[in-house]
Chain A
Amino acid sequence: MRLRSLSLGLLAGAVSLAAAPAPDFIIIANINRNYVIGSKIVTLNGLYQRDAAGAWRHFGSNDTSLSAVAFDPRDHNVIYTAALNGLWRSLDGGQSWRMCNDWSLTEARDVAVDPNAPDTVYLAVTDGVAVSTDRAQTLVRRENGLPGRGKYTQAIEIDRTRAGRVLAGCETGIYLTEDAAQHWRRVFAATDTVNDLQQSPHDPRVWLAATQSAGALISRDGGVTWAAFPGVPAEHALYNITFDPANPQRLAIGSWAHGVLTSEDSGATWVARNAGLPGAHRVWRVGADAAGRLYASVFGETLYVSDDFGRTWQPDALAGSLVNQFLLLPKAAN
C-alpha cells in the first residue's frame, strides 16, 4: 500500500498533478513498540500530515492499529480509516469517530472511496470485501466472484476513470469488478497475497502490483492483464509499490528482504537503493511526495527521505514508526 492519488474533476485520461494545487501529504504512522492489547498507548499513532514547514502534524484519533486511510474527495473532513476494529469514519476532520462495522468485520486492511461515486466506500478485510453506498453508515459484503476461501484482501484500489471499477489484491490473486463489487472476476492468479495495487497518476491505464511471491507486476490495460517485471526478484515478499508523481519513468518498491528497489525507466531495469538506510533493510513502505522526494519507512527505525530517488537517504522524523501508507491527497473540491 499505497500512494494513492485522488483527482476529482480529472477523471479520464492523463492527469497532470503539476497543474493542480499542491496536494496534502498524509501518512499513517504507528509508533507502538511494546504495545499490547489493553495497555496504555504512550506514543502518538495514526494520521500525520506534513505541514508547510516540513514537520509531521498528528491529527485524528490515537490508534495503534490503522492500516489505511481514505478521504471523501468532496470534503476532506470526511475521513475513513481501516483499523483493527474495522472501519472508522469521521465527519469532522478527525475530531470524532464512528466505528462503522459490527463484529462480523474485523482487522480491516485497506479502504478506498470511489472518486466518481464518493458515497461509496470499499473496505478490504481479512475475509473479503465490504461495501457501503451511504458513506459507511451501513456496510454489506459484496463478494460474488471472490472465492469462498482465499479472499484475504490486503489491497483495494479504485479506477479513477470509471465509477464502480475496482481492483482487489487478495490471497489468491487480483480480482476486478466493473459494477461496484456486484461481480468480481480474477484477472491474475497468485498463490500468496497480493500486497499492493496502484494506479498510475500519469496514465490511468497503467497499474502496478506488489505481491508476496509473484514479484512486481504491471498492467497497461487498466488491470485486465498483468505481466511481471523481469528485473524484480520474486523469492521474497514485496510490501508495496509506488509511482513517482513527478516523473512517470520512476517507480519504487519497498521490501523487508530487498530494501528499496527503484526503476527510472518505467520498470525496464531495477536497482537496489539502500545506501544510507540501516544495515538490515527491513523496508516497510516506500512513498513519494508531489515533488518526487522518496520516503522509506524502515521497521524499528525511523522514516527516511531521499532527494535523489534513493541514491542517498537521510533520517526524517517519527523514530520507531511503521508507516502503513503514504497518501497524496489532492485538495478537496470545496
Chain B
Amino acid sequence: MKRLMLPHLALLTAACAVAQPSVEAPPPSRAPVPDAALRREAYHRRVDEVLHWRASGAGRPDPATMDMAAIAIKLTLREDLDLCSARVIEMMKDPGTGPFWMFPTVCVAYVGRDLLTPGARAAIRNAWRTTRQLRGDTENHWAMYYTSLYLMAELYPNEPAETWYSGKSSEENLAEARDYLVHWIDLTTSRGQGEYNPTHYIGEYAIPMLFLATWAKDPTMKQRGHMMLDWLFAELAANTLDGVLRGPASRTDEGSVIERWNSLASYFSWLLFGNTPPIGGYGGWGLYFAPLAKNYELPEVIYRIATDRGGDFVQRDRARTRRFWRYSDELSPAVYKTNYLRRDYAVGSTQGIMNDAIQGHAWDVTWAEADPRGKHATMFSLHPMSSERAMQSQFVTYPEPMIKGVTFEGKPSYDSPDKVVGVSYYERVFQDLDTVIALYDLAPGVRFPHINGFFSKDLVNVTEDKSGWIFARGGNAYLAYRPLAPYHWMKYLHRNGGWAKAAEDLGGRLLVSPHLKNGTIVQAASVGEFKDFAAFQAAIRALPLEFKLEPVPIVKMRTLRGKEIAFTYGQAPKVDGKTIDYAKWKLFEGPYLNAEVGGHKLTITHGRLERTLDFNTLTITDRVRAN
C-alpha cells in the first residue's frame, strides 16, 4: 500500500498566513550548543515556530483550512476553541479509514479532551464506533494503528464491544494493541528495524512513540514510548551528516534519494539537533509531533552524536527486510548496514538485499554541502528492477496487476527503466570504509536489462578517464566511479517523489550500462587528502584492480585505504584475505551505538557520556564515564 500524502504541502503552505522562518532562512549554524539550557530554549523556539506557523490563519475565514494538525495545534495554543470543536464535528461526519486518519484523530482527542465541547468529543468517539479502520500492511501502518487504538481504548475504558468499529470491548482493544506494540518493540530491539533509516517514515514511528510517551496511562507503555523515541533518534543522529540522513534506506523516494536533505528526517534533525533547515511545511506529518514535542527532551548524548563528531567513524548495524509472504526462505531476512561518515562525505550501503519491493535504496556516496537545499549531493548505481515476482513476494497480489497498479495509479516511476529508486534481486554490494563495490548478475530476460548510475548536476569536473575510471568532485569530496561494462549517457528525468506524472529535467545524468554482467566501483576521498584533483586521479589509477564479468562478476582490488578486497557475486567478500562473516555482526556496532543481537539493550555513547536503554528492565541509565 502506498503512503498517504498530506494535502499538498504547497497548498498547506498557501493556507498559512505567516512565513516559515527556518525554511526560508540561511542554513543554521552546525556548531554544537554546549549549554543545555540554551539548547532547550532553542528547541522550544523551533517547536513554537512550527506551532505558530500552522495556527496562523488556519480556519479563518474558511474553516475548511483547518485540518486535524491545525486543530491539534490550535488546541495546544488554546486558540479558537469553539472553531476547533465545530470543525471536529464537521470532519467526523466523514471519517477516514486507517492509521493515517487514526493518529491525527487521537492527537486531537487527547489534546482536546478538556478543551473540545462534549459534542466534538462525542463526534470523535462515535466515528470510532461507526467507521471500520483498516490496519494497513506495513510496519509503520501498524505502529500508528495500534498506538492509536491503544490510546483510544485507554481514553474510553470499560466500553462494550458494540461501541467500537472492531467489535471488541475497550479491554480487548487495549490488550491486542498493547500486545502488538510490545511485540514490535521486542522485535526491533532484538533484530532491528524493518523500516530502517527511513527518509519519511521516521515520522510514522516517532509520532506514535511520542503519543505513547506522553499519554499512555500504563507506565510501562509510557516508558517504552520514551525509550523508543531515544532509540529512533539515536539511529537518526548516528546516520546523519550535518543533519542530513545518509546511506541506505529501507523505504524512500526519488526526491529524497537525489536530494538527500529533502525528507521528513531533515525536519526531525532540524527540530532536535538544529543543524539543518527543515523542509517546507515542516514536513506535513511533522506537524503532529510539534504539539507534544516539548514533552520530549533529547538526551545530550544523542545531540552530541548528531552535532559533535570527533572524527571519521563506521557504524555497522543489523535490520530486517519487509515481510516476504512468498518466494523467500525467510519471512524477514537480515539486512546488514554500513555507514561510514566523515566530515566531507558519507558512504553507506546494505549488502544488496531485496528489502522492499518498491522503495528500497541500497547504497550511495553523498557529500556535505554548506546549504543542502536543492543539492543533488549523491552518487550511486542500481539495477532498475521492475518485477512481478518481487511484488508478489511482499504483497497479496497476482503477477500482472500490481505493476500496472503501482505505475498507473500511484507511482509512475516504478516501471521506468530510468528510475533511481529501488533494489534488485540481482545486486550484491560490499563496502569497506569509502569504497563500494556493487556487482550485478542480471537474469536473461529480466525487464530492464541495464544498470543506471546517477551523476548529479552538482558534480564538477566530471572526467571520463582512459583508465576506465570516471572522476568527479562533489563538494569537498573527490569521487572515482568505475563502470565495469560499456555504457552510454542519458538525461535524468525526475518524477518528484516517484508520484509525479510528469518527468522533469533537473540537470542530472544517468550512466546507462546495458549489460547483464555488470558492476560499479566507487571510491571517495576528501579534497584535503590530496594535493589536487590530478593527484587523486593518479592515486586511483595506481591501485591494482582486476575484474572479470564471466561467468559471474568478480573484483579484486586495492582500495585507497590500502585494503585488498576480493568480491565475487554471490559469495562472501574478503578483505585482506579474511572472509566477511555477516552472521557475527552485532545489532549495532560503532563508536556511538552498540547492541547485541537479541539483547534488547542499546548503549549510546559520546565521549564520556553514556545512556543505556534496557528494554529487558525498561530502564534508562545515564552515566558519565571515567576518562
Contacts and interface: CB of A to CB of B under 8 A. Distances in A.
Nearest to B141: A37
Interface in A139-161: 149-150, 152
B325 A127 contact: yes
Nearest to B327: A171
A239 interface: yes
A85 interface: yes
B32 interface: no
A195 B176 CA distance: 31
Interface in A13-68: 33-34, 36-41, 61-65, 67
B96 interface: yes
A195 B146 CA distance: 31
Contacts of B392: 193
Given A34-B409, A37-B4, A237 B400 contact: yes
Contacts of B166: 98-99
A61 B132 contact: yes
A237 B97 contact: no
Interface string B95-123: 11111111000000000000000000000
Contacts of A41: 97
Contacts of A107: 137, 325, 396
Contacts, number: 114
Interface stretch (B52-60, B190-198, B328-336, B454-462): B328-336
Contacts of A126: 325, 396
A96 interface: yes
B162 interface: yes
A38 B396 contact: no
B547 interface: no
Contact of B132 (A38, A62, A150, A193): A62
Contacts of A109: 396
Contacts of B161: 98
Nearest to B95: A40
A149 B330 CA distance: 7
A36 B95 contact: no
B40 interface: no
A193 B326 contact: yes
B533 interface: no
A98 B132 CA distance: 10
Interface string B302-330: 00000000000000000000000111111
Nearest to A91: B167
Contacts of B180: 102-103
Contacts of B159: none
Q: Specify which of A33, A103, A109 lies most central, judged by the most chain B CB atoms within 10 Å of its CB.
A: A103
Contacts of B578: none
A256 B331 contact: no
Contacts of B404: 299
Q: Specify which of B101, B137, B161, B326 lies most central, judged by the most chain A CB atoms within 10 Å of its CB.
A: B326
Nearest to A170: B326
A212 interface: yes
A37 B396 contact: no
B401 A37 contact: no
B95 A152 contact: no
A99 B167 contact: yes
Contacts of A229: none
Interface in A64-111: 64-65, 67, 84-85, 88-89, 96-99, 102-103, 106-107, 109
B398 interface: yes
A33 B408 CA distance: 11
A38 B326 contact: no
Interface in B560-601: none
Q: Specify which of A85, A127, A239 lies most central, judged by the most chain B CB atoms within 10 Å of its CB.
A: A85
Contacts of A212: 398-399
B134 A65 contact: yes
Contacts of B132: 61-63, 97
A37 B1 contact: yes
Contacts of B400: 236-237, 256-257, 282
Contacts of B401: 256, 282, 284, 299
A137 to B, nearest CB: 11
B4 A96 contact: no
A256 B409 CA distance: 18
A61 B132 CA distance: 8
Interface string B45-70: 00000000000000000000000000
B134 A84 contact: yes
A65 B1 CA distance: 11
A285 to B, nearest CB: 11
Contacts of A67: 396
A134 B183 CA distance: 27
B134 A85 contact: yes
A37 B329 contact: no
Nearest to A257: B400
B3 interface: yes
A65 B410 CA distance: 17
A97 B166 CA distance: 7
Given A152-B326, A256-B398, A103 B168 contact: no
B328 A149 contact: yes
Given A97-B167, A126-B325, A102 B135 contact: no
Interface of A: 33-34, 36-41, 61-65, 67, 84-85, 88-89, 96-99, 102-103, 106-107, 109, 126-127, 149-150, 152, 171, 193, 195, 212, 236-237, 239, 256-257, 282, 284, 299
12 contacts: A36-B4, A37-B134, A39-B100, A39-B101, A96-B167, A102-B180, A103-B179, A106-B137, A107-B325, A212-B398, A256-B399, A257-B400
Given A34-B409, A38-B136, A102-B180, 8 more contacts: A36-B2, A36-B410, A37-B1, A38-B99, A102-B179, A193-B326, A195-B398, A237-B398
